[in-house]
Every structure is written in structure tokens, then in C-alpha cells.
Amino acid sequence: MAERSFKAEVEHLRLGDGGTFTGEGILAITKALLENGVGYVGGYQGAPISHLMDVLADAEDLMAELGVRFEANASEAAAGAMLAASVHYPIRGAVTFKGPVGVNVASDALANLSSSGVTGGALIIVGEDYGEGSSIMQERSHAFAMKSQFWLLDPRPNLPSIVKAVGDGFELSEASNTPVMLMVRIRACHVTGQFATRDNVPPPLTVRDALANPQRNVDRIVLPPMSYAQEHDKINNRWPAAVRFIREHALNEVFGPAEAPVGIVCQGGMYNGVIRALQRLGLADLHGQTSVPIYCLNVTYPILPDEFAAFCRGKDSVLIVEEGQPEFIEQHLSTHVLRDGMAVRLHGKDIFPMAGEYTGKVMHDAIESFLRAEAPGLLPAQVLAPNEPAPEIPDLSRTVPVRPPGFCTGCPERPIFAAMKLVQQELGEHQISADIGCHLFASLPPFNIGGATMGYGLGPASNAAFDGGGKKRPISVIGDGGFWHNGLSSSFGNMMFNKSDGVAVIVDNYYSAATGGQDILSSRAQNPTKSTNNPISRALKGIGISWVRQVDRTYDVAHMRDVLREALTTEAPGPRVIVASSECMLNKQRREKPLRAKAIKEGRRVEAPRFGVDETVCTGDHACIRLSGCPSLSLKRLDDPLRDDPVASIDQSCVACGNCGEVAEAAVLCPSFYEARVVHNPSGWEARLDGWRQRIIGALSRRRMARRLSFGDPA
Amino acid sequence: MNLPLSQFAPDTTQDGIIKLAALAVGGQGGGVLTGWIEAVARSQGYAVQATSVAGVAQRTGATIYYIEMAPQGPVPTVFSLAPSAGDVDIMIAAEMMEAGRAILRGFVTPDRTTLIASTHRALAVSEKTVPGDGIANADEVRAAAEVAARSLILADFDQVAIRAGSVISASLFGALAGSGALPFPRAAFEDAIRAGGKGVEPSLRAFAAGFEAAQQGVQPARTADAPPMAAAAPQGPARLLTAWQALETRVTALPGPVQPMTQAGLRKVVGFQDPAYGAEYLDRLDRVLALDGPANDWALSIAGAKHIANAMAYDDIFRVADAKTRPERLARIRAEMGATGVMQLTEFTHPRGEEIVSLLPAGLGRWIQARPRLYAWIDRRVNKGRRLRTDRVLPFVQLHVLASLQGWRRRSLRHADEMVHLTAWLDAALAEAPRDYALAVEMLKVRRLIKGYSDTHARGLGKFDRVMQAARRLSGREDAADWVRRLVTSALQDEQGTALDGTLRTIDSFIDSAG
């Protein structure tokens, strides 16, 4: 079960003709799929489309009613491969994952799919993780469309446009026998708004029906000689068909006056940013009525040269607004300008920065300098006039600390890395590689562990050069998500086959946690539609790895340290694998908190633990924090003139995972930590016993106090 | 292709759009706040669009939420998906440094922005890991906010929410309503909370408190330099109280500026041991005072009063046992945890042989120290993590007995070592006083480096020694005091002493070249 439940929102997916849907972009896409008769859906979670997978999972009942098959694919490659159903069958299918990393993983399947060509509409919904808030390398999915010749939609980022793009995408796919990628940027995935709904449409041919009547078409198999024919088919038939469809259905849009000295060509996803810049320059109103013509590319691949030429006619110059690099569209259009001998001047990356997000400021500044250079007459006087000097705002760049993501309060991964830090204090620094997932936060302070991340499931594989061993053993870390995504074969199969001398730590937190807590094969939850509870250690044994240590409570820092030390020093032949298992605290709390509150209310016995620090004992050296980084373990300035440095302090968000106490104990830090466990609704006997104890303890301590001077609580 | 729209003169451009951004730390409920704001705007006939950047930033990182709204008309409004520098009407910052970040990113400008910020701090990892005081300066953010914002609302909205039994998203929503920055009535905001349906009552309470707080605009920062603890009268047997009176009389005879710190120091030292120990403290301080005078505002004596007290009240097992078995400690924990009935209490300790041996009489202790195999044997017996359930009688008694043994302390090996160390330090510093007063003050302050237990303590001692050594080498130079101060600052920057090494190398270079 995922971190966020969409059960309530899923009801909106049942809206029919004449209804109004209000909500997030991701949900709108889901609704659009159902309205367009999709036959099967799948994908792999990851920001920013994790919620799409969660919505689909929560909407399984509704989809079953419609005869739509939902598959939570094992990876993006598996999702891409699933679209094979649309190759031979006239069934619409859609898969989703994040771009460009998910597209990387899926590219093998997507390339084959594109060569085969499709019969039913095949839609790949990609959440492009680019710009602020992105967690991955900054690249463009655009290149994949070009190399494999599938079509790329980049609709304007509002709900009606995105919903329309889903329908357009299916039709375009079918009209041109080509898969279509629908790209939605991070913010567009989470943008809220409204659109008019239509009835959901059951697929005309369901996947179940198709199984009863198997079909095959030799021409669509990617083998010579068909593969040669397919390349020609792409260029000679599918491409022209796509161009025809895009033109006839006006998928690209033009806004603004017919006559103007300049114009702007933009990706659909950039449209709102362009309008905002024009609004601020006094050249557009709040409804988007603009005095600078805009050619908005809701289809960014393929480009339609004649549409572009028509837009340029009569204009002196045109600015291309294309985010990211390389500037594929600009290069493409430049080719046409040269080939056709057009007179228009082309601007783009000469004004815009080549790299990085087109933020509001970038957009505003670039469009302003374009207009100042090419059409100053358009700009209103107040823009042309020099700005009045703004008051000097003090520079805070040295004051405000950076706030990188880190482990949550009570995260079970923290003690693993605390233990690793302790082992390294004993045995020296090691070569450590990491994977994709929450554990990668260990590479940041305070742990500073691990120096590479090469891809999902590739953590141990990225240490392969060191598999032969040496004076010290290489260590790699991988999450359970990465393990099942690709790790079992690419990392562990690789280690085993090559007789690796290395050590791998599998962080098993019961979920694909970083992407939002989705279930995976080894999840402990019972999931009615998925197979869970398949232990990782059994999979390891299955591929022949015999040195496997299962740790069932990662919070035992001393034990965790000892197991790591053993793995790094044992004479037993490698590979050595530690499966460190404890439930993701975010998900655990979400699951247990309501149950606990209910139990207390019903009068059942409940222990509510929390940790604390004795301020008088803490000396303020913060060693505990350097081994923890827990958000609830913070600092507090004392009102004591004798003390200069703030002391450790634990706030109310503590979930009593015990890591701080365990670390203080294992690393011999200090005796400041205590755990207070409030017992709600104790039994009569327990309360009586405690009463007696407290009376004796109280008497003893009062007696001691009576014999000495005391100044009240020194804290 | 679409039909082009006709040429027109743009109307009053974008003035109708209200742009609101919220900067929060992951887990602060920024999503809930955004949902409420959307709901209230929609209920008041506005078209509204919200976006957020989720992803890994949700995991304790800084997260930004962005909302635009405009009166709903027949033609849809084109909203932007991201805030732009210089173009934000309302900025909500759910934490003080996030307010700083908002200003830094240009989202708060004097021409248009209402800044609503919570003054509480959620410390970033980089602020917490510094061995000294790495907490960012909130006053700088406050000062910048006063310049940057058109109107400013500052209060501890976290406390406001906690007092109401809710979370900060609700109190900030109240502050937004109270700021009057949105053209909607209070009831509409409250209806949005009710429509949300979750935790309605506590949210409404926090909303009301936030609304209230917003009426007061900027609430002053808590003064950092609060006066020393209000001196409550000590309690104890009459004999000891009489002895205490005598000590207090000695304090009142001291120069006025030295008294408050001496009061605090005396309490610490007497609480640590007994009035006789307090008298020793004042004797030591007298040595300092003899070298001091009003010309330097008694800086040497004040530093002495502070650091001699800290040196005398060192952290040993007796002290820890005492701190953990005081009745007022239990009362404080019970209050903090909200325990009314049964509460189990577990102490996490890890004594080592070294600590146990250091409790023995000095002679015996040294005898054992001289026998490494015996010493190691003791360590093997002792050295492990021990968890004491001090809500139970026997574990409590263990600590209680240790705490009661503190009369023994002055005969212990640890005490002997501490006193030798203290004397050496104090002598060294005071020896400088007649020649270089400022250097003597800084040498007293080097004491700050000694803290922590076991390895951390040892590292602190090591840094202390190196700085004191450098201080002696610097002695006689005009800038000696300044360099010692820098050495202390750099020693507190990181655990391993990398920054300290750097400063020491610099000092080496100019001393060598001079020599």
C-alpha cells in the first residue's frame, strides 16, 4: 500500500458526461485514459508520476469493472515491453514512468516497439524530472523520440489540454502505427485545476478477449529482413501519416495577431511561462491574449516544417523557447530555415541559457532581451524606461543553510549507516558505492558514505571493477526497490558469477520507499492483488550466494556493526551479502498511529515511548548528531550563562526508534539519552506495582536531597 | 492550425492574479495548507491553480508550493506554474531559515510581498553537526525581512499550533486569513478547514490562534541574553544552609559585574559537591580578582568565574548518577512526556573500565593504571552498553548509591587528575595576566573545548592541549589573544580538528618566519 491513498479521489474517476473534475494533473490523466477506452495500463513508480501509479493501484476495482488490466510492472523495461500487446492487437495501452531515467531503462523495449510499429494506440506517459526538485541527472527524454522515431507530445500545462493530449495521443498513435510519448513536467503532474468529464469507455477489445483469439503479423517482428522494411516504413509511411494527422487535427496551436514583426515558438509545456513573461512585459493579458504571436508546439516531435514556415511568414525574427539541452527543436528548425532559404532570423539558445530550467526569471529576462533587440517598438514605455533603484536587501547567502533531503525521523536506514561509520572508524575508509533510493541520502552529511550512483539496481554492479578484491573489500549498498527492479540479475547475478570479493548491503524497508511506499515482491504486507512476502534472502540463495546475513532489527547498531565487521573480515569466499530489514518508519507510523490512538481510546494497554536528553548531562559536543542526523534530534540553547554551546534535544516528533540511544551506547558517547515509555491504560496490578516503586524511589531521592544543598532542577 | 486571435491592445495585464508561494520543510503539512487555500479561493468564486514540487524534497528537504488565483470569468486565466523572483504577492514561510531562503531567492520584494513567517527553527543538519555552536543567525533573517517585505507577520506559529493541539499548517492558514492579504472573509477560511474533514476542531483552534497572532504583525525575538537563572533559595539541612550563607556573603563583597556569573558558578560547584568546595572555588576566583580591575570591565574575573566553575564541576559518574536520580528530573520528564500514570524509564549508558578505575582512591587507581593487564581485565568486565530501568527499584538504587557516594569524590583518582589539570591551566593563564591581559582572558576561555565523555572527551582534551601550547608560543605577541580566540573558534568547527590544524599551521608559519 502506498504512502498516499487516493481511494477518495478515485471516486471522481467515475464522473461521466457533463461532470466537472477538480484535482491534480496526474488524476486527470488517469480519468482521460478511462474516457479513451484504454485496454491495459502499467508502469513503474518514481517522482513525478508515482501518484499516477498509486491512483491506478487504488482504482483497480473501477478498472476491473471496465475490463481494463492494471499491471504494477517490475521495472520501466517491463512496462515498455507490456506495450507489445498493442503491436498485434487493436487494443489501446498506456504505461507510465519517470523520464529520462525510466525511459533509459525502458529504451530497449521502446526501440523494438517503435520498429515493430503498433496497431492499437500505445501511449507512454513520462513525468519529466527536470529542473527544481528533480532528483536525477538533468537530461531530456526528447532524444529517445528522435532516435527511435516515435512521437512526442508536450501539451500546455493545464488540465483540459493534458486530458485532450491523451485522446490525441491514442489517435495519433493509431493513425501512424507508432507509439506516442506524452511528456508532462514535474509541476504539470501536480498542477491542480478542473476539466469537463465524459463517460468512461470500456475497451472495444479487452486483453482477455484477445487471448481467446491470438494474432500475429510477421511484418511486425524485429528480425531481418522485416527490420529493414520497418525502418523504411517509419520514414516513408508512418512519419507522413503522423504529420498529416497533426496538421489536420491542429494539435499545435497559434495564438496572437496574424501580423507582427516577431513571434515565439515554444514547447507546449513552456506556454504558461511564456505568457507570464509577456504579461509582466505588458504584452499579454491574464487570459493569455497576446500581442506577440505564439506558435505552441503541443507536438514537439515530429516538427511540421510547413506549419513553421507559415508562422514565420512576414516576421523578421522568431524566438524558440525550448528548455534543456541539446536544443533539438532549434537545430531542426534551423535546418529548414537554411534549406528553404527563409529570411527569418532565428533566436533561441543564443539568448536563453543552454542548461537549466526556464524559471520565471529566465523566461522574463530572455523574452525581454529578445524584444528589446528585435522589436523594441512593441514594449510599453514603462518597460523601456530604466527601473527605479530597488532598496538594498541584505545578502543572506551566507546565513541560510542548505537543506538537502535526508532520512526521516526514525528511519531504519540511519542505524545501518551509523554502524557503517563505526566500522570505518575501526577498519579504515572503504570504497563504497550506492544505488538509487532513500539510502543514497547517506552520501550527504552527516554520514558522507558512498560516492557513486550508477542507476537503479546497479549499486553492486558499479563496484564490479573492484570485485577481484584487494587489501580492503569494496562495499555496495542497494535498496529492496533496486534489488527487485534490476538488482537481482544485474548486480547480484554479476557478483556471484564473477566470484566477487565484495560486500553488499541490501536495505530492506518493506517498500519501494523513496518513490512513495509502493509494495514490492518482498513487502511484508498482504496485498490482495499482488504476490508479496517473498524474502530477498531466498532469492539470493537461489542464485547461489551462500554468505547471507539477515538482520531483522537494524536499530541494533552494535549488532549491525558486528555483522558489517564480520562481512569485511571473514575468510569465507564472497560475495557476502547483508540483508538489513526494518520497516520504513514513514509507512509504519502511517499504519500504526491510528491503530494506537484507537486502542488508547478503547481503554486497551498501549505503551507510548519517546526519547529524551538530560540537559545537565549533555555537554553539547554533538557527537550523537554526527552519527544520526535525525530530524527530531536537534539542539537547544540553554539559559545557563556558564554554558556556551547548545545541547542536544529531542522534540515531540520522536517516534522512539531508539537509534540515538543505541548509537550513544555502541559508540560510547555519553549517558545523556533516556527512553520514557508512557503506559496508557495499565492493568490494576501494574499500576499498583508502579505506585509502590515510585514511593520507594521518591523516598530515597528525597532523603538524599534532604542531606545536601539543592538548587532546584539545574536544567 | 488555429485561427489567429485578432490584434488588440492588452488590458490591464496581470493585475488580477494573486500569487502565493509557501516554503516548508518536508513533513510540515504544506500540501494540506495548499489544499485549504485552494478550497477557500474556489469557494469565493476564484479560479485557482496550485502546484508543488514533490519528490525527494519531501524527505526533510525544503519544499515549495505555489498557488495562483484570479476571479473566475468566462475566459480561463493562464496561470504560471512556478513563482518568479520579484513577482510574489504573498509568501508563507513555515520556518525562519525558509523565510531567509525565500528572501534569498527574490520571492520577497518591497513593492508587493506580504511575508508571513514562523520564527521557530527546524535546524539543518549542517547547523547541528558542528561541535560548537553552528546555529544560523535568525536575527539576520529578521533584519532582511524587515527590509524586503511590504508587510510582515512574524511569530512562532509552530508553538501557536502546538499549544492548540494541532500542526503548523493550521496556524499559518489562520495567519494568512488574519493578514488580510486575501480578499476573503474569515468564515470562508474556516469553512475550508471544515470541508477538509480531518482533525477539524484542533485545526480550527490553531487557525484562530494564528489569526490572532497575525493581528500583532511582528512579534519580537526572544531575547537571547536572558538574565542568569532566577536565583531560587537553596534547600537543605540548616548546617549547610549556614555555610551557604557565608559563601553568599563573600559573593556580595565582589565587584558588581562579577557577581552574577559567580553566583551561577558557585551554585554549580556547590551543587556538584558541597559548600567547602564552593569556598575553594571562591578562593581560586580571588586569585583572579587580585590581577583584575575595573579598567577591563572585569573580563578576566568573569571568564574565570565561568570557566573555573565548569572545570571544577567536571562530568564524572557521580555527577551523572546524581543528575539521573533527582526528584525534580523525574517530575520534568513526566511533564514533558505528558505522563499521568505509569511511565517506564530506561537510561542508556556505557561505562568503561577507565571510568570505574577513576572512581577509586587516587593511589589504588594509579596502581591499577600501572598494570595494563589488570586494567584491561577490569575493562573487559565493565565495558559494555548497560540499560538501566530507573523506574524500577534495584536499578534506581544502583544510581542512587553512586550519587550518594559523592562525598568520596575528592579522594578519587579522577579528582586528583582534574585538579592537576585545572591548576596547570589556571596558573598558565594567570601568569599571562600582568603582561597580556587579553591573552589571559582568552586562555581561560580555552576551557570551553573540554566536553563530552570518553573518546569525545579525549579529543576535546587534545584540542585544549594544542591550543594552550600554541597560546604559550604566541605569548608576547601583540595579536596573541586574537589568535587564541581564532584557535578556539576553529577547534569548535569540526570533530577531527581539521580547521584547528589549519589555523595552527598558519600560526606556525608566521612564528617560524619571525623566529
Split into its structural domains, chain A has a count of 4
- Chain B: give the shortest CA distance to residue A543, in Å: 33
The domain that contains A186 carries what CATH number? 3.40.50.970
Calculate the alpha carbon distances from B173 to A154, B29, B61 in Å: 35, 11, 21
Residues A242 and A100 in one domain: yes
From the list A396, A644, A669, which residue is nearest B144 (CB)?
Answer: A396
- Give pLDDT, residue B416: 96
Tell me which chain A residues have a C-beta less than 8 angstroms from the C-beta of B337: 610, 612, 676, 678
**What whole-number distance in Å separates Cα of residue A583 and Cα of residue A510?**
5
Range of the domain at A434: 414-587
Residues A369 and A470 in one domain: no
Residues A110 and A218 in one domain: yes
Whether the CB-CB separation of A536 and A492 falls below 8 Å is answered with: no
Tell me which chain B residues have a C-beta less than 8 angstroms from the C-beta of A612: 333, 336-337
A365 inside 8 A of chain B by CB:
no
| Domain membership flag for residue A712 | no
Would you tell me which residues 28-47 of chain A have a C-beta closer than 8 angstroms to some C-beta of chain B? 47
Per-residue confidence at A9, pLDDT binned at 50, 70, 90? confident
pLDDT at A561 over 70: yes
| Domain membership flag for residue A12 | no
Residues A372 and A494 in one domain: no
Residues A501 and A515 in one domain: yes
Nearest Cα neighbor of B164 from B198, B205, B224, B210 is B205
Q: Which residue has the higher pLDDT, A111 or B511?
A: A111
**What whole-number distance in Å separates Cα of residue A664 and Cα of residue B453?**
10
Residues A257 and A243 in one domain: no
**What whole-number distance in Å separates Cα of residue B325 and Cα of residue B337?**
17
Per the prediction, chain A carries an average pLDDT of 94
- Give pLDDT, residue A628: 86
pLDDT digits (tens, 9 = 90+) for A386-431: 666 777 889 999 999 988 888 999 999 999 999 999 999 999 999 9
pLDDT at A514 over 60: yes
From the list B11, B342, B460, which residue is nearest A621 (CB)?
Answer: B460
| Domain membership flag for residue A58 | yes
Nearest CA in chain A to B17: A286
Nearest Cα neighbor of A557 from A503, A621, A624, A609 is A624
Nearest CA in chain B to A48: B55
Nine-digit cell string for A601: 481510546
Residues A76 and A222 in one domain: yes
| Other C-beta atoms lying within 10 Å of the C-beta of residue B252 | 10
> Of the residues A321, A352, A379, which one is the last residue of a structural domain?
A379
Tell me which chain A residues have a C-beta less than 8 angstroms from the C-beta of B385: 558, 665-666
pTM of the model: 0.92
Residues A568 and A621 in one domain: no
| Domain membership flag for residue A152 | yes
Nearest CA in chain B to A706: B236
Nine-digit cell string for B474: 604566541
Peptide bond into A302 cis (omega under 30): yes
| Domain membership flag for residue A394 | no
CB contact under 8 A, B391 and A711: no
What is residue A297's DSSP assignment?
E
Residue type at position A600:
I
pLDDT at A77 over 90: yes
- Give pLDDT, residue A388: 67
The domain that contains A314 carries what CATH number? 3.40.50.920
From the list B4, B232, B241, which residue is nearest A254 (CB)?
Answer: B4
| Other C-beta atoms lying within 10 Å of the C-beta of residue A393 | 17
Residues A543 and A668 in one domain: no
Nearest Cα neighbor of A169 from A152, A145, A148, A186 is A152
DSSP A485-542: IIIIIIIIIHHHHTT---EEEEEE-SSBTTTT-B--TT--S--TTS-----HHHHHHH
Share of chain A above pLDDT 90, in %: 85
CB contact under 8 A, A712 and B137: no
pLDDT at A713 over 70: no
Calculate the alpha carbon distances from B332 to A676, B336, B393 in Å: 12, 6, 19
A287 inside 8 A of chain B by CB:
yes
CA atoms within a 13 Å half-sphere pointing along the CA-CB vector of A410? 19
Whether the CB-CB separation of B300 and B293 falls below 8 Å is answered with: no
**What whole-number distance in Å separates Cα of residue B469 and Cα of residue B481?**
13
B122 inside 8 A of chain A by CB:
yes
Q: Report the Cα A118 to chain-centroid distance in Å.
A: 29
| Domain membership flag for residue A616 | yes
> Of the residues A379, A399, A428, which one is the last residue of a structural domain?
A379
pLDDT in tens, chain B (515 residues): 343 333 333 333 446 899 999 998 877 788 899 999 999 999 999 999 999 876 555 566 778 899 999 999 899 999 999 999 999 999 999 999 999 999 999 999 999 999 999 999 999 999 999 999 999 999 999 999 999 999 999 999 999 999 999 999 999 999 999 999 999 999 999 999 999 888 899 999 999 999 999 998 887 776 544 444 456 788 889 999 999 999 999 999 999 999 999 999 999 999 999 999 999 999 999 999 999 999 999 999 999 999 999 999 999 999 999 999 999 999 999 999 999 899 999 999 999 999 999 999 999 999 999 999 999 999 999 999 999 999 999 999 999 999 999 889 999 999 999 999 999 999 999 999 999 999 999 999 999 999 888 888 998 999 999 999 999 999 999 999 999 999 999 999 988 889 999 999 999 998 877 65
**Mean pLDDT lowest for which of A45-49, A250-254, A382-386, A608-612?**
A382-386
- Give pLDDT, residue A50: 87
ipTM > 0.90?
yes
- Chain B: give the shortest CA distance to residue A671, in Å: 5
CB contact under 8 A, A676 and B337: yes
From the list A271, A666, A693, which residue is nearest B385 (CB)?
Answer: A666
Residues A606 and A583 in one domain: no
Nearest CA in chain B to A438: B56
Tell me which chain B residues have a C-beta less than 8 angstroms from the C-beta of A619: 315, 451-453
Average pLDDT over residues A502-510: 97
| Domain membership flag for residue A232 | yes
| Domain membership flag for residue A301 | yes
CB pairs under 8 A between A and B: 459
**What whole-number distance in Å separates Cα of residue A278 and Cα of residue A257?**
14
Residues A81 and A212 in one domain: yes
Whether the CB-CB separation of B63 and B95 falls below 8 Å is answered with: no
A247 inside 8 A of chain B by CB:
yes
- Give pLDDT, residue A392: 86
- Chain B: give the shortest CA distance to residue A649, in Å: 11
- Chain A: give the shortest CA distance to residue B513, in Å: 34
Whether the CB-CB separation of A509 and A437 falls below 8 Å is answered with: no
